[in-house]
Every structure is written in structure tokens, then in C-alpha cells.
Amino acid sequence: MSQSRVVRTVAGTGAGTGAGAVGMRPQMSDPARESSRSAPPPPRTPRAEPTRLGPGRAPGGSPSAGRPDGSTGVGPLTGLGVSLVLVAACVVGALLDLFLVGGPAWALVALYIAACGYTATRVRPADWFAALVAPPLAFAAAMIVLAQLVPQSFGSGLLGTAATTFELLAGKAKALYFGAALSAVILLVRRMRQTS
């Protein structure tokens, strides 16, 4: 009787062990997990700081060519800009001459010629005609201002002012023609460079 109990106990233990072995999954080692656990973490790469570009700088570090001709600073002049620059230069020169010598002299001529060269260089191609027409008109406007301020030898009124204006223009005809010719030459050179 004791032997049968021992046999049953052993059989029950074996059955339980078998059932436990069937119900449990064997623990298998995963080589990928093991290697990922043992490998050190990758080093941190420093964050790239955004580069701050200064005014007029391109991303490559060179000055940006904001205009087709590569020039920087003030943009090209429009027809209105050409007229304003020329009139301002001529009137300021005429007033300087009036206060210094009492009539048209070197300040008007110098500022007029300088303004002619500047406007012909800076005018945009669409308004080249303005750089040819505006110089004589601006010079005439300065002479009209002077004719109003200087003593009129041809009498007062509209006719006296007109006669004094023509007299002043005749006295500075060479400067008038030189400034207009300078504008024409600069515009011609720019036109030839653009077409070539």
C-alpha cells in the first residue's frame, strides 16, 4: 500500500511537472536586445545655430546683388527722381551764387553738371528719356528763380522776368549745353553696354 502511494505521488508530480512545462514558454535570449543594451548611447550632435546675416549679405556670405546691375545702396532713379535731383541742385546752386556774388556763377554750374552726371548714371532704363529732357528744364527753372530775385534791368512784370531769364540763360549757355551733353554721353555708354 505504501508503494502504490509512492507511485501515485511520483506520477502526480511528473504530470504536474509536464503540465507546467507545457504551459510555460522557455526564456530565449535575443541577441539584438542584448547588443542594444550593452552598446553605449550615440553621442549628441551639437545643434547648428542659425547664421545671422547682416544687411546686404547673401546666405553664401557675399554681398547680395539686390539689383540686376549688382549695385548696392540707393536704387535706380525714376523720372520724377531725376527731375527732383536736378531741380534741387540747380536751385541750391543759384541761391548760393545769389548770396555770394549776386548772380549766377560757379556754384550753379558745378552743381548742375554734377547733378547731370549723377542722374544719367543712376536713372533706370525705363526713364532714360527723362535724364535727357530734365537737365535743360531744371537749369531754366533755376534761372527763373534768379530772375525773380535779382534786380531786373528790363523792367518789372512778366515780360521783364522773361527777358531777364533769357539773359541769364545766354550768359550760362556753355554750362547748359555741357551738362546736357554729359548726360547724353553717359546714357549712350550705358545703352551700348546693355545691348552688347
**What's the rounded Cα separation, in Å, for the pair 45 and 116?**
59
pLDDT digit string (tens) for 61-78? Answer: 444 444 554 444 567 889
The amino acid at 113: I
pLDDT at 38: 59
pLDDT tens string 94-110: 999 888 888 788 999 99
Summary mean pLDDT of the chain: 75
Alpha carbons 133 and 73: distance in angstroms, whole number: 26
What is the Cα gyration radius of the chain? 46
Residue 155 makes CB contacts below 8 A (sequence gap 6+) with: 163
pLDDT > 80? residue 171: yes
Q: Identify the weakest region by mean pLDDT among 27-36, 43-52, 108-117.
A: 27-36
Cell of 51: 547664421
* Residues 153, 57: Cα–Cα separation, whole Å: 59
Mean pLDDT of 160-169: 86
* Torsion region of 143: left, alpha or beta (phi above 0 gives left; psi -120 to 50 gives alpha): alpha
What is the percent of the chain with per-residue pLDDT over 90, rounded to a whole number? 33
In the predicted structure, residue 155 carries a pLDDT above the cut 60: yes
Question: Is this structure's pTM higher than 0.75?
Answer: no
pLDDT at 16 > cutoff 60: no
